[in-house]
Structure 1
Amino acid sequence: MMRMVPLKKQSKKKQREYHAKQRGSWYGLNPVTRTVPSRKAYDRNRMKRADREMSARYLLFA
């Protein structure tokens, strides 16, 4: 019969194994917090894209 040994009394290696098992997996997802960029902030790529769209519309209707 196995006795239950409190986690604090187990070796550091066993504690690490226990905590690693509790954490589980992210299933390929990167756990870094993702932020949504502000629409009010200046974004050069967004401005270039908007200019290209406007020029393409102008060429269609000209």
Structure 2
Amino acid sequence: MTQMVPLHKQNKKEQREYHSKQRGSWYGLCPVTRTVPNGKVYDRNRVKRSFASDRATEA
């Protein structure tokens, strides 16, 4: 029967193997690009959209 060796006593290669098994997959998604835009920052495109929607309601 094999003895259970604590993780901090295992060598680096075995620790890396253990941690890589624990990590999940993003299944093709890039977490960096999935950010929520800041509402306080000036957004030129938001201004254009609001201007276009105002003009559409007037016509």
Report the TM range for the smaller structure's normalisation: 0.5 to 0.7
Give the structure with higher Rg (CA): 1
Q: How does 1:8-47 map to 2 (within 5 A)?
A: 8-32=8-32, 34-38=35-39, 40-47=40-47
Unaligned runs of 5+ in 2: none
Percentage of matched positions with identical amino acids: 59
Give the TM-score normalised by structure 2: 0.63
User: Match for residue 50 of structure 1?
Assistant: 50
Give the TM-score normalised by structure 1: 0.62
C-alpha separation in 1, matches of 2:38 and 2:50: 17
Count of residue pairs brought into register by the alignment: 58
